[in-house]
Structure formats: C-alpha cells, structure tokens
C-alpha cells in the first residue's frame, strides 16, 4: 500500500464544532454553526472564526464587531447541526431548538445558556480570504457552567461531553491518551 497525492484541500480534522451567537443592532439574536474556529494567541487571548459572506450572521458580525463562541456538547449536537443548515433569515433558531439566550457582561451579543462555555469576542481584524472571511477577535470574557467546577475551583471542561466535527460528521471526544509533557516526563 502506498499513499495517494490529491489536489490541495483542507484536510485538517477534527475541528471544534461551535455555535456562534450574534445580536444585531435591532436586538435580534441568531446562531451560526462554525467549524472553522481556532485559537490565535494566548496572551492576549484571541481566537478566529471563518464565515462565508453569504451566511446570514456574516453582516451582523461585520456591523457589530461582536459575537459569542459557544462550545457544543453531545446534548447540543442536534441544535449545532440545525443551526448550520437552517438560516436565521427564515427561522428563530433559539426558539426552534429550545435554546435560552444568555446576556453576556462584556458584549451585546447573547450567549447560549445551555452551552458549558461561552466565549465573548470583539473583532480585532477582518481578513477576506476567498470562500470565507476570517474574523480575528479579542476574547473579552468567558462564562463557564458551575456544574463542571470541583470544590477547589477547577473547571473540568473534558467532562462536558464536547463535540468535534470531522469531514461532515460529529464526534464526541473520547479516551484520554496522555497529558502535555508526558513524552519527556521521568
């Protein structure tokens, strides 16, 4: 068996499947599912999302410069998928998926109450790249669900049932294989 050489394409998988919530200047909320999301910088904390210009939430992000990245869990995977295949032009995704808008302390955009982690973002730069526009954002606040906190104040994010997206399919994170630095630990 050998290896095949294919034309250039994005095969970086898996990626986080996140629901990005936005609120327009008139106060209307929407959710867009994004698989092109990632960490950009630790200090200052920054992340990026890439959105197609034809998506309904695109103009809201450009106009307000704010959004909330809501991590998706096994319990939210159906809503995550729905928010990626239905347009906010046609349906109220919060209502249709029985999701609760969560007022955030640092941005006008609402979060999703059912998500274990809500990451408040303010756009720092916009890069039009082709099929997608990348919004690089400063993280201005993070809200976490207290039910995943232990008595010492540690947040157990891996107990939330996080979901990843890989080549058109959703997967729940699985077995722990190691810990940062374990390959060189004595």
Flag whether pLDDT at 96 surpasses 90: yes
Q: Which CATH number fits domain 15-172: 2.30.110.10, 3.30.1360.170, 3.30.300.90, 3.30.1490.20?
A: 2.30.110.10
186: pLDDT strictly greater than 90: no
Query: What is the token pair recorded at 118?
Result: 């809500």
Contact 100, 61 (CB under 8 A): no
Amino acid 12: pLDDT: 85
pLDDT tens, 32-87? 999 999 999 999 999 999 999 999 999 999 999 999 999 999 999 999 999 999 99
| Confidence (pLDDT) at 108 | 98
**Whole-number average pLDDT of the chain:** 95
pLDDT of residue 9: 85
Helix H or strand E encompassing 111: strand 111-112
Helix (H) or strand (E) holding 83: helix 77-85
Per-residue pLDDT band at 111 (split at 50, 70, 90): very high
- Tens of pLDDT, residue by residue over 8-34, are 888 888 999 999 999 999 999 999 999
Sequential DSSP letters for 2-70: ------S------EE-EEEEEE-TTS-EEEEEES-EEEEETTTTEEEEEE-TTSHHHHHHHHH-EEEEE
Encode pLDDT of 121-160 as tens digits: 999 999 999 999 999 999 999 999 999 999 999 999 999 9
pLDDT at 16: 93
The pLDDT assigned to 10 comes to 82
Pairing of strands 163-166, 169-172: antiparallel
């Amino acid at each position: 068996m050998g290896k095949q050489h294919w034309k250039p394409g994005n095969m970086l998988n898996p990626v986080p499947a996140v629901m990005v919530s936005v609120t327009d200047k008139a106060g209307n909320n929407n959710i867009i599912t994004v698989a092109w999301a990632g960490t950009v910088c630790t200090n200052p904390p920054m992340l990026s999302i890439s959105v197609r210009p034809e998506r309904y939430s695109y103009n809201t992000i450009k106009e307000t410069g704010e959004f909330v990245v809501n991590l998706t869990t096994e319990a939210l995977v159906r809503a995550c998928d729905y928010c990626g295949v239905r347009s906010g032009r046609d349906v109220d995704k919060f209502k249709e998926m029985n999701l609760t808008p969560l007022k955030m302390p640092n941005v006008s955009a609402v979060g999703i109450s059912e998500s274990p982690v809500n990451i408040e973002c303010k756009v720092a730069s916009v890069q039009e790249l082709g099929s997608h526009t990348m919004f690089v954002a400063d993280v201005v606040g993070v809200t976490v669900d207290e039910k995943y906190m232990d008595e010492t104040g540690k947040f157990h994010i891996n107990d939330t049932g996080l979901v990843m997206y890989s080549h058109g399919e959703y997967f729940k994170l699985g077995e722990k294989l190691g810990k940062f630095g374990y390959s060189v630990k004595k």
